[in-house]
Amino acid sequence: MRLKFSLFIAILFVATSTFAVEHPNLFLTAKAVQEIKASVGKYPAFDKSVDELKAIADKALAEKMDVPVPKDGGGGYTHEKHKSNYYAMNAAGIMFQISGNPKYAQFVKDMLLKYAALYPTLDLHPVIKSEARGKLFWQTLNDAVWLVHTANAYDCVYNFLAEKDRQLIEKNLFRPMAEFLSNGNESNYETFNKMHNHGTWALSAVGMIGYAMGDKDLVAKALYGSKKDKKSGFFRQLDMLFSPDGYYTEGPYYQRYAIWPFMTFAQVIQNQQPELNIFSYRDRILDKAVNTALQCAYNGEFFYLNDALYKTYQTQEIVYAVDIAYKNNPSNKQLLDIARQQNSCIVSGEGLVVAKAVAAEKIPAFELKPALLRDGAKGDEGGIAILRSGSGDNQSCLTFKATSHGLSHGHYDKLSMVFYDNGNCILPDYGAVRFLNIEPKDGGGYTKENHSWGSQTIAHNTVTVDGKSDFNGDIKISSKYHSEINYFSVDNPEIQVVSGVERNAYKDVLLNRTVALLTNKAFEFPLAIDIFRVKSDTVHQLDFPFYYNGQLISTDFTIHKNTTNLKPFGKKNGYQHLWLEATGKTDKPTANFTILNANRFYSIITLADTLTEFKLTRIGANDPNFNLRDTPCFLIRQPRVSNHTFVSVIEPHGLYDLTREVTEGYETNLSELTLIKDDEDFSAVKISLKKGQKFLFITANRDFDNSKTRTIIINNKTISFTGNYYFTDIQN
Amino acid sequence: MRLKFSLFIAILFVATSTFAVEHPNLFLTAKAVQEIKASVGKYPAFDKSVDELKAIADKALAEKMDVPVPKDGGGGYTHEKHKSNYYAMNAAGIMFQISGNPKYAQFVKDMLLKYAALYPTLDLHPVIKSEARGKLFWQTLNDAVWLVHTANAYDCVYNFLAEKDRQLIEKNLFRPMAEFLSNGNESNYETFNKMHNHGTWALSAVGMIGYAMGDKDLVAKALYGSKKDKKSGFFRQLDMLFSPDGYYTEGPYYQRYAIWPFMTFAQVIQNQQPELNIFSYRDRILDKAVNTALQCAYNGEFFYLNDALYKTYQTQEIVYAVDIAYKNNPSNKQLLDIARQQNSCIVSGEGLVVAKAVAAEKIPAFELKPALLRDGAKGDEGGIAILRSGSGDNQSCLTFKATSHGLSHGHYDKLSMVFYDNGNCILPDYGAVRFLNIEPKDGGGYTKENHSWGSQTIAHNTVTVDGKSDFNGDIKISSKYHSEINYFSVDNPEIQVVSGVERNAYKDVLLNRTVALLTNKAFEFPLAIDIFRVKSDTVHQLDFPFYYNGQLISTDFTIHKNTTNLKPFGKKNGYQHLWLEATGKTDKPTANFTILNANRFYSIITLADTLTEFKLTRIGANDPNFNLRDTPCFLIRQPRVSNHTFVSVIEPHGLYDLTREVTEGYETNLSELTLIKDDEDFSAVKISLKKGQKFLFITANRDFDNSKTRTIIINNKTISFTGNYYFTDIQN
């Protein structure tokens, strides 16, 4: 018995080996507190943020405190209450430091004691929707987010608390919670050690409460994995989850989300263990991650790729990312432009540095630039290409996705394309089917249509073969492969080109797509050329949709609309969610489809042959719970082909000004589109404008080499060029 | 021969009896020109407007002049060219006056000579879409607009032109055009003398060119009608087309449009014949018309009633209306708030006065107020009631339409309601089915769905009886009748109520609707109560739709959705355009239907019985040319009733903040809705909130009298109140 007890003490000692720490020094530092006190009234954006934080704290102090027994899913009362509780504790903790008013600390103390009383009584959350059920929330993820915020609050009131209260709170709440998050069950252990944003939250939570409690062991686990062998943990995540370009494999929406714990925990590490030089790690990968997140946006709105919802630069996670990134790299002054737009700061040393700089510095505009963001830890798993022409609201932007699957939030969207123009998304990606935090909509989680529709290939602007999704919709297989970028060139800002290939999505079918964003004084606006080659030894049905935002204005082919009876376009793989509104065929060599979006017209001009079928669809079939948006689509079908090359031009044109009642150029400026050569080596497309100008675009289809000189004979003329593509105006 | 010639001269003399006039003095005056020259660089909004006008002129001067033979409909090349030509002449004429540079006058001269050469060769326009075909344009209306602008240009360059050029232009162009517009054929004669906005344009054009040429006869016809008997003409239009409240019977969209020639021509009359005191006429009816136009808007966007498209305060016609109204009534300083928002002025004395005032004055905010706008020349043909609570972006606004038919642009929408909140239209009116100036869409005119859908009763938020539109959709019959306002009260801004009745839309069916917009500290936001009584001696099917903008979140009744096959809801009277998406019934005494719009939830809570059927529809069936927007609808059907009272509450609630990821109050705050009394005298509705508060709303159903004391016994309790309605919180 005595032996056992000694052993228990020894184990306990090891498990809780502590180191002396200052408070506050977790995220908010004592030095920052002094600077913040000295800055009152000097920086409006900072003052506003303090006021907002104070309002959160004061509102919470004025209300009856409630720490309810967990019951509801996302959006429900107990869910939202535990969420507002951690925001309230975080706000009150910081306000205690800034104001010195003990009422704030008392509030945090009281609430922590309530949680310390509740937590030991809790089993797993009663809502069973996640494989990783939390205790306070329906998924462990939210428990981790709770702890990230609460660790800050604890740090802020640490010195206010009596030792016995600290012991009670740590023993009944923080240590069991840290244990639960890192090792509570198999699923949590896996998550904690997984290369995934849920893991980042878990280890940030555990690491932060570890630092706050002075618990070296918890910190070491957070930094180096449960086994402290560096095969997982924060550093390993920095190695694995970001590509060398700072791209996060789950896509922009989750990059925005993941950046929050990454940057927050990094700042904590910087405060606590500056010797680790965390912001310099891996060639400043965190800087790159922030920059890449910001670049994955149009007009301040993040790209809707993979599972994505509407998110902007205004979100608090991007405020955190920008402020922390700037503090640790003040040479990146463009970040201040975003901070100025946000008009909000973290109430911390980082936020104050930014507020001061915004007031003092001459701020360069934040530039959204064309970029290739390589995917994969080594940058060798394809990537996302972003083509951009122009700047500001009026920028044209085309995204091209040729990445790896993107973990559990990835879609079967190989070589898919999205087109923005004139401040709007013209050819969209659906993103996720989810009503975040709306309880009546599947508890705020992903709806079943996220799988049956949102992630399927037919939901994306790319080719679906034989009515099946890439890899037959099998994530395990899809995760083994990735597309490849053939080449990417934006050296000439007026001729931006990306080409990619997908060899594995369909058995014995090769997909090769080249898209170019071309700016030329002969064009009204930048236009896109899209060459999609499908190669196979066997015959397939190819469906190539262009989802569009806008209203159909005209087509140059006859449409037969199903005016009195709508049926789904298919039975599975996403097709069951499309109403077939109309069909069409053409006897011309091209088809023209023109829509209106805001004050501009857009034409899709595409090659057609006698077999080509056009389908006009609208999302919404087999949607019993009204979960889907009803985006319309112009779909090109080749019913039976082995080798086929889709060639399309997407042309913005004209003006529709309802205020001044002026209409200009409602018809395409193109008179002709022809594929004048198409073989294993090259595809060559000729565009003729009604005003007479003619242009030739050639892409190499193999042997990609930026320095290679190519020779191609077209109509008995020899054309030579160096590199992978060629674009010129021609005489005939 | 000699005699004949003399007679011809004599006739010519009579027909063109002239009076000496200064130039410029039509719209732009010589005095204003001097003031404008002296103001350069002083008023940014005015300078900007001059720059914009100069840019229009300079662009036109730089281009090859083209006065094409008319060929195309709205949006087509020749249509847009003749339009840009009149804008160009107007701009160049003004720029000639301001700059003194003769190149501008030369441009106007050259173009006028081209038109003078072209016009005599023209027959009616080749596009046959209008009963009133023009010569330059497909409809006479546009010819009139052309002449309004060109008359200004002519006045500006009058003194620059040689006498022989003036004679040529007047003889070959202006006089024949004035003759054509006023008397060219039966249709034009009718239009010129008609009480209709097309008539306003026609007589303004004729009157303005009359003044410009010094032709008293043309002016007299414009002012007093073709027969100069005052039975038509401008003054008669001022008497007949506006109600005493300044409401224009065609509705806000056309009021906005008509206000342009009304105000422009009035200013011309003021300049030319100040003794007529035109702006004082009929108790300053033009002031009222401008103010009423501005009041028929939400967030600067005009109400979508009758045939209406998207239009805002930013349109040039509202710039004209505001500037001219302010110049002639500078005590109305709220107009300056609109002018400031417009940041644009007329380049004229009126615009300059406004620009100076905006720079100098302390400007009160323009207030959108609740109002009853009576319809009919005498104000006794019903009206539009506007209920509003709050101000700015966040205002709640409910419109209630109980007017006369509204001429050719009216809809069969008796007692229809529209609801705005939080900056958005929540329960919309479809407005017009038209793609203005888009040639491929029915030449830019109204599409056939404007009649088959947009104007039908089922397209509006009101009751359709037996699947037929009001007056069986017969405009001749509908135009004989009007709804009546029972009472309207906004004395207490927290209890705004309007009640109206329609006795004639359906044989032997009386429709009586009372809506209240209620603000109370117990409500999260102002909510609406809607009591719709239908009385008949015979059995009818009643359909009561609520069109909504937003996404369905939840219902408290089971929905059976047509997930694999959509069919139209009906065969005619607009029903053929609705896809029947889902049906539902409830066994509870109320049904709750909750949607999300922007960051707020909205619940419609409505009484139900065992026969009540719910239909969820979406616009789009029988629409072969993709002309319709696909707005969804929650429709309440009572299949077989003689007397029925629909009672609904429309409640905004909660918060959906995707940026901060906060969701609050996604469920209605109501626990109960009951109709506790409903007879010929009174309807009484009780609302219970989940938090416990209870409210009673009573409306009188007859003997409307604001000073009458009423006594009503409910549940053995006697309630007394004075007036037509009663609203209070109750204990049980």
Give the three-class secondary structure for B83.
helix
Query: Is A281 a member of any domain?
Result: yes
Residue A429 sits in the same domain as residue A320: no
- Distance from the Cα of A630 to chain B's closest Cα (Å) equals 9
The average confidence (pLDDT) of chain B is 95
Which chain A residues are closer than 8 Å to B667 by Cβ? 440
- Distance from the Cα of A213 to chain B's closest Cα (Å) equals 29
Structural domain boundaries, residue B30: 1-228
Look at B565 and A564 and tell me if their CB atoms are within 8 Å: no
Point out the residue among B80, B582, B626 whose CB comes nearest to the CB of A664: B80
pLDDT digits (tens, 9 = 90+) for A230-248: 999 999 999 999 999 999 9
pLDDT value for B9: 43
Give the three-class secondary structure for A303.
coil
When pLDDT is averaged across residues B18-37 and rounded to a whole number, the result is 89
Q: Does position B521 have pLDDT exceeding 60, yes or no? A: yes
Which chain A residues are closer than 8 Å to B553 by Cβ? 435, 438, 440-441
Sign of the CA dihedral running A130, A132, A135, A140: negative
pLDDT value for A12: 42
Residue A123 sits in the same domain as residue A144: yes
| R_g of chain A computed on alpha carbons | 28
Cβ atoms within 10 Å of B341's Cβ, excluding its own = 14
pLDDT value for B11: 41
Look at B309 and A567 and tell me if their CB atoms are within 8 Å: no
Query: Is B36 a member of any domain?
Result: yes
Q: Does position A294 have pLDDT exceeding 90, yes or no? A: yes
User: In chain B, positions 417-446, which contact chain A (CB-CB < 8 Å)?
Assistant: 435-441, 444
Query: Is B334 a member of any domain?
Result: no
Residue A447 sits in the same domain as residue A311: no
pLDDT value for A230: 97
Look at A438 and B626 and tell me if their CB atoms are within 8 Å: no
When pLDDT is averaged across residues A325-332 and rounded to a whole number, the result is 97
> Catalytic residue positions of B?
254, 409
Cis peptide upstream of residue B24 (ω within 30 degrees of 0):
yes
- Distance from the Cα of B319 to chain A's closest Cα (Å) equals 11
Residue A379 sits in the same domain as residue A506: yes
Kindly indicate the confidence band of residue B18, based on its pLDDT and cuts at 50, 70 and 90: low
pLDDT value for B692: 96
Residue A387 sits in the same domain as residue A465: yes
Which chain B residues are closer than 8 Å to A553 by Cβ? 435, 438, 440-441
CB contact, 8 Å: B664 with chain A? yes
**Would you report the helix, strand and coil content of chain B in percent, each value rounded to 5?**
35, 30, 35
Residue A198 sits in the same domain as residue A325: no
CB contact, 8 Å: A663 with chain B? yes
Q: Does position A10 have pLDDT exceeding 70, yes or no? A: no
Among A352, A367, A382, where does a domain finish? A367
Q: From CA A466, how far away is CA A506, in angstroms rounded? A: 9
Kindly indicate the confidence band of residue A709, based on its pLDDT and cuts at 50, 70 and 90: very high
Q: Does position B248 have pLDDT exceeding 70, yes or no? A: yes
Query: Is B615 a member of any domain?
Result: yes
Residue A214 sits in the same domain as residue A362: no
Look at A659 and B315 and tell me if their CB atoms are within 8 Å: yes
Residue A176 sits in the same domain as residue A254: no
Sign of the CA dihedral running B340, B344, B346, B351: positive
Q: Does position A290 have pLDDT exceeding 80, yes or no? A: yes
Q: From CA B270, how far away is CA B202, in angstroms rounded? A: 19
Among A350, A367, A384, where does a domain finish? A367
Which chain A residues are closer than 8 Å to B567 by Cβ? 564-566
Is this complex's ipTM strictly greater than 0.90? yes
Which chain A residues are closer than 8 Å to B453 by Cβ? none
When pLDDT is averaged across residues B682-704 and rounded to a whole number, the result is 97
- Distance from the Cα of A525 to chain B's closest Cα (Å) equals 20
CB contact, 8 Å: B561 with chain A? yes
Q: From CA A372, how far away is CA A596, in angstroms rounded? A: 30
Q: Which helix (H) or strand (E) holds B47?
A: helix B44-62
pLDDT value for B17: 53
pLDDT digits (tens, 9 = 90+) for A539-563: 999 999 999 999 999 999 999 999 9
Kindly indicate the confidence band of residue A325, based on its pLDDT and cuts at 50, 70 and 90: very high
Residue A475 sits in the same domain as residue A331: no
When pLDDT is averaged across residues A90-95 and rounded to a whole number, the result is 98
Q: Which of B39-48, B72-81, B416-425 shows the lowest per-residue confidence on average (mean pLDDT)?
A: B72-81
Kindly indicate the confidence band of residue B303, based on its pLDDT and cuts at 50, 70 and 90: very high
User: In chain B, positions 318-357, which contact chain A (CB-CB < 8 Å)?
Assistant: none
A409, A460, A577, A644: the catalytic one is A409
A104, A224, A254, A304: the catalytic one is A254
pLDDT digits (tens, 9 = 90+) for B108-166: 999 999 999 999 999 999 999 888 999 999 999 999 999 999 999 999 999 999 999 99
- Distance from the Cα of A133 to chain B's closest Cα (Å) equals 20
Q: From CA B134, how far away is CA B125, in angstroms rounded? A: 6
Kindly indicate the confidence band of residue A618, based on its pLDDT and cuts at 50, 70 and 90: very high
Query: Which percentage of chain A shows pLDDT scores above 90?
Result: 93
**CATH number for B403:** 2.70.98.70
Give Cα separations from B423 to A649, B298, B301, B335 (angstroms).
Answer: 38, 8, 10, 21
- Chain B, nearest residue to A575 by Cα: B564
Say if CB A638 and CB A541 are below 8 A apart. Answer: yes
Which chain A residues are closer than 8 Å to B618 by Cβ? 630
pLDDT value for B732: 59
pTM score, two decimals?
A: 0.93
Q: List, in order, residues 6 or more apart from B154 with CB less than 8 Å away.
A: B93, B108, B112, B169, B174, B209, B212
Give how many domains chain B has, as a whole number.
Answer: 2
User: In chain A, positions 475-514, which contact chain B (CB-CB < 8 Å)?
Assistant: none
Q: From CA B263, how far away is CA B323, in angstroms rounded? A: 10
pLDDT digits (tens, 9 = 90+) for A561-617: 999 999 999 999 999 999 999 999 999 999 999 999 999 999 999 999 999 999 999
Q: Which residue has the tokens 């070959």?
A: B172
Q: Which helix (H) or strand (E) holds A578?
A: strand A578-585
Among A349, A367, A385, where does a domain finish? A367
Q: Does position B6 have pLDDT exceeding 50, yes or no? A: no
Kindly indicate the confidence band of residue A13, based on its pLDDT and cuts at 50, 70 and 90: very low
Residue A570 sits in the same domain as residue A432: yes
Point out the residue among B561, B623, B629 whose CB comes nearest to the CB of A624: B561
Point out the residue among B551, B565, B666 whose CB comes nearest to the CB of A626: B551
- Distance from the Cα of B551 to chain A's closest Cα (Å) equals 8
Look at A439 and B661 and tell me if their CB atoms are within 8 Å: no
Query: Is A531 a member of any domain?
Result: yes
Q: From CA B672, how far away is CA B687, in angstroms rounded? A: 6
Query: Is A690 a member of any domain?
Result: yes
pLDDT digits (tens, 9 = 90+) for B458-485: 999 999 999 999 999 999 999 999 999 9
Kindly indicate the confidence band of residue A487, based on its pLDDT and cuts at 50, 70 and 90: very high
When pLDDT is averaged across residues A432-454 and rounded to a whole number, the result is 95
CB contacts < 8 A, A to B, total: 132
| R_g of chain B computed on alpha carbons | 28
Kindly indicate the confidence band of residue B274, based on its pLDDT and cuts at 50, 70 and 90: very high
Residue A276 sits in the same domain as residue A165: no
Query: Is B701 a member of any domain?
Result: yes
Kindly indicate the confidence band of residue A20, based on its pLDDT and cuts at 50, 70 and 90: low
pLDDT digits (tens, 9 = 90+) for A391-408: 888 899 999 999 999 999
Query: Is B322 a member of any domain?
Result: no
In a mutagenesis test of the B interface, which of A141, A626, A657 is the best target, namely the one with the most B β-carbons within 10 Å? A626
pLDDT digits (tens, 9 = 90+) for B310-352: 999 999 999 999 999 999 999 999 999 999 999 999 999 999 9
Residue A363 sits in the same domain as residue A394: no
